[in-house]
Structure 1
Amino acid sequence: MTTNSFLTLFVFLLLSSLTTKAQKIFSVDYENQADVKVFVVNYESQADLKVFKVKYENQVGNNNGKWFFTNYASQAKKKIYFVRYESQADLKVYFVDYENQAGWRNPSKQHLLY
């Protein structure tokens, strides 16, 4: 494979991963089943991501904090485990009341939900 074709393939894979909807979430019972360990903070200012729980699957966003919780792990793009202590978490979230409040406060953590 030439350098040019390798670069083209890499760019294609990168761009296609950015459009993946990773907001269908399943909450697992055990830490070792999770893709991401999540801690729910008490204040918005402490969060990496502000999350709005949508009612319907077709309302999920492209990694923008709109989460739909699935009934089965096989339906989800990401499996999460809610940890008891902040120090155990990969990602800190704050649940907001309105859809337009959802979004990333710490964009360096976005890769966790791709």
Structure 2
Amino acid sequence: MKNTLALLALLFLSQSLMSQRVFQTNADYQADYNVFEVDRDYKADLLVYKVDRDYKVRGNEGLWYFTDREYQADFTIFMVDREYQADLKVFFVGSDYRAGWRQNSLKNEIDLLIQQ
């Protein structure tokens, strides 16, 4: 029974570490990533779908829940005006099934950031 509880706690912790609760800052120096919104999906590193509840995020799949408070976020972003300023280029999609990574190297980088 004790091992089962430990395993469940570990599974819950790993899921929460891989979720994508995001806080948008007002200054680039406060952000983990500078993000630029591209005008076409093929230009993006990540296709993002904004979910309306935090329990709807599933891992690092491009389903973002925007929090109102920084301490609730897994990472922080700042939306930049120019593409060359961005660490990550995103395109917001209208359906959750379209969300996902187009650049796996950046996915791995964000996975490492969230786990820290």
TM-score (norm 1): 0.81
Q: Would the alpha carbon gap of residues 17 and 37 (structure 1) be closer, same or farther in structure 2, given more than 3 Å must change?
A: farther
1:34 to 28, 31, 46: 31
| Identity fraction in percent | 39
- 8 Å CA contact retained: 1:36, 1:112: no
Residue aligning to 1:23:
20
Q: Which runs of 5+ in 1 are unaligned?
A: 1-15
1:100 to 93, 97, 101: 97
Q: Which runs of 5+ in 2 are unaligned?
A: 1-12, 112-116
Residue aligning to 2:40:
43
1:72 shift after superposition:
0.2
Structure 1 segments, 4+ long, off by >3 Å, are 16-19
Residue aligning to 2:53:
56
- 8 Å CA contact retained: 1:28, 1:34: yes
2:69 is the alignment partner of 1:80: no
Q: Would the alpha carbon gap of residues 18 and 48 (structure 1) be closer, same or farther in structure 2, given more than 3 Å must change?
A: farther
TM-score (norm 2): 0.80
Q: How many residues align?
A: 99
CA distance in 1, matches of 2:109, 2:49: 17
- 8 Å CA contact retained: 2:50, 2:64: yes
1:36 shift after superposition:
0.7
Residue aligning to 1:113:
110
Give the superposed CA RMSD.
Answer: 1.7
